Amino acid sequence: MATTTSPLSGQASGVPDTDLSQASIEGIHQAMLAGKLTARALVELCLARIDAYDDRGPTLHAISLVNRGARARADSLDALFRRRGLTGPLHGIPVVVKDNIDVAGMRTSAGSGALTAFLPTRDAEVVARLHAAGAVILARSNMAEFALSSTETVSSSMPGRTYNPYALNRTPGGSSGGSAAAVAAGYAPVALGTDTGSSIRGPAAWTSLVGLRPSFGLVSRQGVFPLYRDRDTVGPLTRTVRDAALMLEVMAGPDPDDPSTAETGRYSVKGAVEGLHAGALAGVRVGVLRSLAAPRDTDPDVLVLFELALIDLRRAGAVIVDSVTIPGMHEGPLACERFQRDVDAYFGDLGAYAPFASFADLLARGRLDGPMKARLAALERGAVPEEDGACRAAHARLGRLRTSFEARMAERDLDVLVNPTWRHPPPLVADAAERTGNASHFLAVPLGLPAITVPMGFARGSLPAGLHFVGAPWSDAALLGYAYAYEQATLHRRPPASTPALVPGGSSAGAPGWGAGSGS
């Protein structure tokens, strides 16, 4: 159960909840500069919404732990603001952090009951960067246990699963579903997630958010519980592309503790926010990955939304190249199983503070239920050396895919590729574990490319869908520009009805009945 706080009692300095629960970072800072809002008042509002909606009302179960130091942090920022104004690009902005990213003094459970007693003594590098930019770490979000599901967010570190605020009988996706549900429901303006297969972009698409997977190596993974280190990335979930760009500017940069970031200094994203403009798609050549939106395996409503998105891209000035095939895109496997080795390395970096000595120690002593223990044991058995023949074959396939991608982008003179993020709307909870249709992992994940999902509209009138952009290597700033232009041309996003504005005292204003919600 989430740790909760007392409800808001009129501390919002006269700014109504409806102006804040879905506000952008820029809008929040404008209110602060106008003297209408303080960091403390904003934190109180966010905590009140968690209290009102997470363990009661719609009972989203998005939050696993609230930061008891959030109020004190906000107070210190308000004191600094009175002396010298905004302290950084994220001054006073509450951030929800996925429960596999270390925050000093707050547990890192990776969604598992085996790790609920683990308290990191050091912030992950990305969290340290958020702090330096003035952010307030508000809470931890629920996640799929060990990030092993892309379709549902169910952990053993807290009771219950996370539900989709747009339809309470449906999943928000996994494994960053808690972060997605929290931002969609107005618990915080932004959140951090991790993406190894689709775990930022998938939940973002199903909760009408922007979800960014940065280029591999652009953002440090130090202090992040691993799933597959050669593919793990940290990225933002936001309500606008501009906020995603702002977050990336803060998060990106080299880190001596993460060798994957060694080249990052050559590909700065500083200026990404300033470079956003509504005409960014003019003349841009957009390749359509038609194999990821084939009628035979794509929901008809999602297919209609995708066709409309292509029309909108063309109206925004893009040149649509329909369609594009990438040889090798559907071949596999493209990697070797290495979860065991990566967990061993994570525990090793923690030294004496590690909750377990190794993956084997976790498997032997950790509080794991039968199915999860069996799944981890299977991963342990499946681990093979990199020099194994199957591993060498996988690496060879990956090399061929990289070559074919680069060749096809050059042959067709393409700037970006598009496809639906998921081929179907968010499924019912009862069906989530069995559903496939993930269309966002084929290129960006194995090749380390930047990718972003942006709201594409609503299937059945109320079930969110996302448009997925995949860029060339290190083209993060340009990719954000394309996504921004599409977002501004369409403005598809609307907040969920299940978490309406609060009235003084913390109750909801005009809240619908708490049932299955629309889209049932």
Our measurement of the distance from residue 334's CA atom to the centroid of its chain's CA atoms, rounded to an integer in Å, reads: 23
Through-space distance between the first and last CA atoms of the chain, rounded to whole angstroms? 26
**149-171 pLDDT tens trace:** 999 999 999 987 999 999 999 99
- Which residues lie closer than 8 Å to 218 by C-beta, 6 or more apart? 248, 252, 261, 264, 267, 269, 450, 474, 476
- Output 57 or 386, whichever has higher pLDDT: 57
pLDDT range class, residue 335, cuts 50, 70, 90: confident
In this prediction the pTM is 0.94
**pLDDT over 80 (residue 17):** no
pLDDT range class, residue 487, cuts 50, 70, 90: very high
Write down the pLDDT at residue 337. 83
- Output 311 or 387, whichever has higher pLDDT: 311
| Mean pLDDT, rounded, for 213-236 | 97
Annotated catalytic residue 98: yes
Pairing of strands 233-238, 463-471: unpaired
Write the single-letter amino acid at 159: P
Question: How far is Cα 158 from Cα 167, in angstroms, rounded to an integer?
Answer: 22
Write down the pLDDT at residue 18. 55
Q: Check residue 452 and report its DSSP letter.
A: E
pLDDT range class, residue 319, cuts 50, 70, 90: very high
* Tokens matching residue 54: 């997470």
| Mean pLDDT, rounded, for 323-337 | 90
- Quick one: what percent of the chain has pLDDT higher than 70? 93
**pLDDT over 70 (residue 510):** no
**424-456 pLDDT tens trace:** 999 999 998 777 788 898 999 999 999 999 999
| Mean pLDDT, rounded, for 207-236 | 97
pLDDT range class, residue 338, cuts 50, 70, 90: confident
Among 98, 155, 156, 518, which one carries the catalytic annotation?
98
Nearest to 202 by CA among 518, 24, 426: 426
Q: Answer yes or no: are the C-beta atoms of 326 and 412 closer than 8 Å.
A: no
Among 109, 199, 440, 475, which one carries the catalytic annotation?
199
Region of 439 please: left (phi>0), alpha (psi -120 to 50) or beta: alpha
**Mean pLDDT for the chain?**
92
Among 112, 175, 176, 215, which one carries the catalytic annotation?
175
CA gyration radius for the chain? 22
Virtual CA dihedral for 15, 19, 20, 26, nearest 10 degrees?
Answer: -100
**pLDDT over 60 (residue 6):** no
pLDDT range class, residue 507, cuts 50, 70, 90: low
| CA count, 13 A, side-chain hemisphere, 227 | 26
Handedness of CA 160, 165, 166, 168 (dihedral sign): positive
**pLDDT over 50 (residue 3):** no
**pLDDT over 70 (residue 412):** yes
Question: How far is Cα 125 from Cα 294, in angstroms, rounded to an integer?
Answer: 41
Region of 373 please: left (phi>0), alpha (psi -120 to 50) or beta: alpha
